[in-house]
Structure 1
C-alpha cells in the first residue's frame, strides 16, 4: 500500500504561493488516512465473522447429524475399558417338546476383594463370616491383611446376600456381573441336562460351560452367540418326565431298592419322552464327582444309559423273534424243555416245572430258560450274534449324551455255544437300558430299529429293518400274553393293553461271579398292544419286597407293579384314551316269531 505524505511539499509550496494555510492540507490527509484504515478494519472483521459463522454452522451440522444417527440406531450398553479379556456369557435356553423351560440363564453377582483398597479389613472379615457361615474369619483376615491384591470370595450371590455385603460399606469388597445357569425344575431331568459351571472368569463376566449331560454334549451350540435366541428343544415331555420320576422314586422306596432307572420311548419316531435315573441330584447345586468307591454309588451316575447290566429274561423276546424270523420255529412249535441242561460244570434250569415240552408261545409266556436255550442252540452262534448286532445290542447307544457313548456292552470275547444259550435268556452279556428300549421299540413299530434321540423330531425316520412285520406282530401278541397269563400279571393296566417281559438276573460281582441276594429286576413293556405307541423299560437295582411270608426279588413282584403304576399315571399325559369295552346292558336276545 502506498502511504500518502501528510504534508506533501508540492502542495504546501503551492498553498503558500496562493496565501492559503498549509495546515488544512495536513488535516485533510489525516482524515482520509483514518477513513481508509477504518474501511480496512471493517473488511477484516467481516471476513473473520463470516469464517467463524461457517465454522459454527459446520460444527452444529455434524453434531446434529450424529445425534440423528444415534437416535435411529438400536440402544447398546456402553462397555467400560478394562484389561480383563472379554468372555462370552450368553447361553441358549433348553426346553421340552412343548416349549416348557428346562434350563435358562439368570443375572447374578460374584464377590471379590481388593485388600489394598480396604479401610477396615478385620471388620470386613468378621462381617463376611457372619453373612457366609462357610467362610472362615481367620482365613479372611490373613488374606485381607497380607500382600495379595485380588481374591475371589463368592462365584454367585443372591440379591439379599449382595445387599448385606453392600451394607458393610467396605470399598475393597467389589461385585462382578454374572450370568449363572438356572434349572427352574430342580432335580427333574437332572441326568438329561447334566449341569453347567463357570469356565473362564473375569470381573466383568464369566463363561458358562456344560459339565455333563446335554449341557456338555451341545456345549458349542448352546454357547454360540449367533444362536443365543434359538433354544435347544428336546423330545422329552416335562410333565411325563416328572410323573415317571415320582412313581419310580416311590417304587424304589417301597421295594427298598438301591437305585432305579426307566426309559420311555416313542416306538414310531425313536424320541425319548422321559429318561429317569435314581438317585438323582439338583443341577443347580451339582455335587462333585466321587474319587473313590463304585461309580453307581454317586447320584451323578446315570443308570439308564451309563450303567450296563445283565437284564435277564427280557432277552427272551429277542430269541423268540429270531427263531420266528429265521423260520426255525412257529409260535405253536413244540420244544423239549426237560432239564436241567448240563454243560460242563454249568447247569441251565427253570425256576418252576413246566412239563416235558412246551410250544414257543408258552416258553416266552412262562419264561422257560431251558426252552429258550434249546431254541438258541438251533439258531447257532453266528446267526445269534448277527441278530443281536442288528438290534444294536453290541454297540454303545447312539443317544446324544456323553455318558451313553462311554457305556459299551460287556460281551464275552470267547463266545461259545454255552454263551449263545445263556445270552438267549439274558445272562452272560451286559447292556444298557437304552439298548433294550430301542430293541423293544423295534418290536413295537413293526420291525424297524430307530436311532433313539433326545431332540424333538418332525416326522418318523425310516430306520433299518431288523425283522418282518409279521414276526414283530407275533412277538407283540406273545408279550401281551405274558401280562395276561404269565409272569407279568401285575403289569395289567385297565384300558392300556400292556405287553411286556420280565427279567431278573443276579448282580455280577466286581471280582467275578454273582451275588446270591442281589438282583437287577427289569420289566420291558409296549403299550397299547393292539396299536403300539410307546415302550417303557423300567429297572430296579437290588429291589426286594416281603410278600406272603417271604422275601421276593423277582421282577414280577418288584419291577412290574411299579411299571404298571407308571403307565397308569403317564398314559393320560401322553394323550392315550383307555380302551374300555362297553358293558352289556342285559342278557337278552331278540328273536323273531
Structure 2
C-alpha cells in the first residue's frame, strides 16, 4: 500500500508561491486518509457480519433438519459405545424333521438403570415395585439413592412391562435390546430341547447359551456365524411327539404312576421320532435342579436317557436270541423249567408253575425266569456278557444330548453264576429305556447294531452285525407270540402286528434290598413284526391299577395298555398304514433239543425228534 504524504513538497512550495496556507494542504490529506481508513473498516465489518449470518443460517438449518428427522423416526434409547469383543447373539433355529419350529429367537428388551441420571429415584423405585411385584422396594430405593452407577433391573421385559416403565418417565431407566430364546410349543419335547440362558451380557446385546439337552450339545453349532443361520433339524416329529405326550400323561394318571417315559425309534436309521419323559417342564422358564433328595423327583430329570432301571423280563429275549444265533437251541427246544432252581445259596423261581419243561418260545411267551436262566447257563458268563456289551448295554448311549453321559448303565463289577442268572431276566443290571429301545432295534434290524440319534438325515456308518438275520427273525417271531398268546395280549392293535415283551421289576431301596410294593413296569415292542420299522418302549415308574377287586402293578396291566393306545395314535401319524393278514416269516422247525442238568450240576443238550 502506497501512503500519500500529509505535506507533499511540490504542493507546499506551490502554495507558498501563491501566498496560501500550507497547513490547509495537510488538513485536507489527513481528512482523506481518515475517510479511506473508515471505508476499509466498514467493509471488513460488513464482511464479518455476512460470515456470521451464514454460520447462523447453517447452524439453525442443521438443528431444524435434525429435529425433523428425529420427529419422523422411531424412538430409541441411547446406548453407550463400549470397546471389547462383540457379543454374538444370533442363534440358529431348531426344527423337527418336517421343518416345524421347535426353538427360535424373539427380540425383546432388558431394563437397566443409571441411578446418577435419575431425577426422582424414590418415585422410580416405587413405580418399578408396582410393575414388578417380585422386586424389593426398599432395596431399589437404597440402590437408586446410593453410589451405584449401573444396575440391572430385569433381563427380559414383555411389551406391556416395557410400556409401563416408559410411563414412569424416568430418564435414568434405560432399555437394552435382547434376543431371547423362545420355545413356542411350551412343554412339548422339553427334555429333548433342554433350554437356554444368557451368557456374556452388555447393554446393547446378550449372548444366548444352551444349558441342557440339544441346546447345550449343539451350542457351538447353533452359534456358528459360518452356518448363516441354517436351522438344526432334529429327527423328532412334532405331531407324533405331541400325541405321545398326551397318551403318556393320560396313562400315567390312570395307572397312578409316579413318572413315565416312552421312546419311539426308527429301526433302520436309529432316528428318534418321539421321546417323552414325565413330569416335564416349560423350557421358556426352566426350573432349578434339586439339590437334595431323589433326582428323579425333579421335572428336569430325563427318565428316558438318565433313568437307570432294572428293566425286568424285557431282558429275557437277549439270552434266548443269542442262543438262537449260536444254534445252541431252536424255537422248539425243550427247556427245563422245574421251579425253584438252586444257584449256590440262592433260589430262583417262576411267578407261576410251568411244569418240568417249556419250549424256548414258551419260555419267552410265559416269561419263565427259570427257563431263561437255563438258557443263560448254556451260553456261559463270558458269552452272555459279551453279547450284552455288543448291544450297547454297558456304555452310555451316544445320543446328542448333554445328559447322555449321566445315563451310564449300572453294570455288575463281578459276574458270578447268580449275577449271570439274575441279569438274564433283567435284575442286577440297570439301564435306561433308551438303551432298551436301541437293543430291541438291533434285533429288529436283522441283527445289525442300531445307534440312536436325534439328528435327521445325517449319514451314518452301518452298524456291526451283532447276530444273524435268521436268529433275529426268530426272536421277533417269539416276541410276536407274547402279544398273541402271552403276557402282552392287551398290546394287540389290529393291523399293526405288534411284537414285544413285558417286564415288571421291583424297585431297589436306596439303602439296599427291594420295595415290596413298588415296581418299574416296562413294555418293549416292535411293529410291524413281519417287517419291523419302529421300536416303542413304554416305562411306568411305580404304577398301580385296580383290577378284579384288587391291585395290579404288572407291566401287562399297566404299561401294555398305554403302549397299545400309543401305537393306535402314533402309527398313522408316521405314515404306517394298518395291514391285514399275518405276514410273519415262516420259521422252519428244526430238530427239537431238550436241555437238562448234566453231571456235577452242569447242563447238557439232549436231542430228540
Q: Same fold (TM over 0.5)?
A: yes
Alignment check: 8 A CA contact 2:188 2:241 kept:
yes
Equivalent in the alignment of 1:327 = 327
CA displacement 1:34-85 (0-9 Å, x = unmatched): xxxxxxxxxxxxxxxxxxxxxxxxxxxxxxxxxxxxxxxxxxx999733465
Equivalent in the alignment of 1:87 = 87
Equivalent in the alignment of 2:495 = 495
SS in 2 for 1:384: helix
User: Matched residues in 2 for 1:87 and 1:473: separation?
Assistant: 55
Q: CA RMSD in A?
A: 1.6
SS in 2 for 1:410: coil
Equivalent pairs, count: 506
CA displacement 1:70-102 (0-9 Å, x = unmatched): xxxxxxx99973346521100000000000000
Q: CA deviation at 1:360?
A: 0.1
Q: CA deviation at 1:158?
A: 0.6
Alignment check: 8 A CA contact 1:112 1:174 kept:
yes
User: Matched residues in 1 for 2:83 and 2:409: separation?
Assistant: 51
User: Matched residues in 1 for 2:160 and 2:485: separation?
Assistant: 61
The 5 A counterparts of 1:382-421 are: 382-421=382-421
The 5 A counterparts of 1:549-564 are: 549-564=549-564
Equivalent in the alignment of 2:135 = 135
The 5 A counterparts of 1:438-453 are: 438-453=438-453
Equivalent in the alignment of 2:201 = 201
Equivalent in the alignment of 2:40 = none
SS in 1 for 2:556: coil
User: Matched residues in 1 for 2:380 and 2:568: separation?
Assistant: 40
Distance 1:581 1:393, change over 3 A: closer
User: Matched residues in 1 for 2:200 and 2:229: separation?
Assistant: 22
Alignment check: 8 A CA contact 1:84 1:202 kept:
no
Which stretch of the first structure deviates more once superposed, 563-572 or 83-92?
Answer: 83-92
Alignment check: 8 A CA contact 1:450 1:463 kept:
yes
User: Matched residues in 1 for 2:459 and 2:577: separation?
Assistant: 22
Equivalent in the alignment of 2:44 = none
SS in 2 for 1:389: helix
User: Matched residues in 2 for 1:430 and 1:463: separation?
Assistant: 24
Does residue 226 of structure 1 match 2:226?
Answer: yes
Alignment check: 8 A CA contact 1:222 1:228 kept:
no
User: Matched residues in 2 for 1:171 and 1:457: separation?
Assistant: 53
CA displacement 1:112-167 (0-9 Å, x = unmatched): 11111111111111111111111121111111111111111100001111011011
Distance 1:152 1:94, change over 3 A: same
Alignment check: 8 A CA contact 2:79 2:204 kept:
no
Q: CA deviation at 1:346?
A: 2.1
SS in 2 for 1:462: coil
Does residue 367 of structure 1 match 2:348?
Answer: no
User: Matched residues in 2 for 1:239 and 1:109: separation?
Assistant: 32
Alignment check: 8 A CA contact 1:268 1:460 kept:
no
SS in 1 for 2:576: coil
Does residue 184 of structure 1 match 2:194?
Answer: no
User: Matched residues in 1 for 2:176 and 2:294: separation?
Assistant: 39
Q: CA deviation at 1:344?
A: 3.5
The 5 A counterparts of 1:528-539 are: 528-539=528-539
Q: CA deviation at 1:581?
A: 5.2
Which stretch of the first structure deviates more once superposed, 286-295 or 459-468?
Answer: 459-468
Alignment check: 8 A CA contact 1:190 1:282 kept:
yes
Does residue 507 of structure 1 match 2:507?
Answer: yes
Equivalent in the alignment of 1:576 = 576
Q: CA deviation at 1:406?
A: 1.9
Q: CA deviation at 1:557?
A: 0.3
User: Matched residues in 1 for 2:457 and 2:475: separation?
Assistant: 27
Alignment check: 8 A CA contact 1:524 1:536 kept:
yes
User: Matched residues in 2 for 1:428 and 1:176: separation?
Assistant: 56
User: Matched residues in 2 for 1:186 and 1:309: separation?
Assistant: 28
Equivalent in the alignment of 1:337 = 337
Alignment check: 8 A CA contact 1:92 1:230 kept:
yes
User: Matched residues in 2 for 1:529 and 1:355: separation?
Assistant: 30
User: Matched residues in 1 for 2:559 and 2:400: separation?
Assistant: 27
The 5 A counterparts of 1:19-418 are: 81-83=81-83, 85-418=85-418
User: Matched residues in 1 for 2:170 and 2:365: separation?
Assistant: 75
CA displacement 1:406-457 (0-9 Å, x = unmatched): 2211111121111111100100100111111111001111111121110012
CA displacement 1:231-275 (0-9 Å, x = unmatched): 001111111111101100110111111111111100011111111
Which stretch of the first structure deviates more once superposed, 459-468 or 150-159?
Answer: 459-468
User: Matched residues in 2 for 1:174 and 1:114: separation?
Assistant: 8
Q: CA deviation at 1:319?
A: 1.2
Equivalent in the alignment of 1:16 = none
Alignment check: 8 A CA contact 1:108 1:158 kept:
yes
User: Matched residues in 2 for 1:547 and 1:483: separation?
Assistant: 20
User: Matched residues in 1 for 2:507 and 2:135: separation?
Assistant: 44
User: Matched residues in 2 for 1:144 and 1:175: separation?
Assistant: 17
Does residue 474 of structure 1 match 2:484?
Answer: no
Q: CA deviation at 1:342?
A: 2.1
SS in 2 for 1:402: coil
Alignment check: 8 A CA contact 1:480 1:498 kept:
yes
SS in 1 for 2:394: coil
Equivalent in the alignment of 2:7 = none
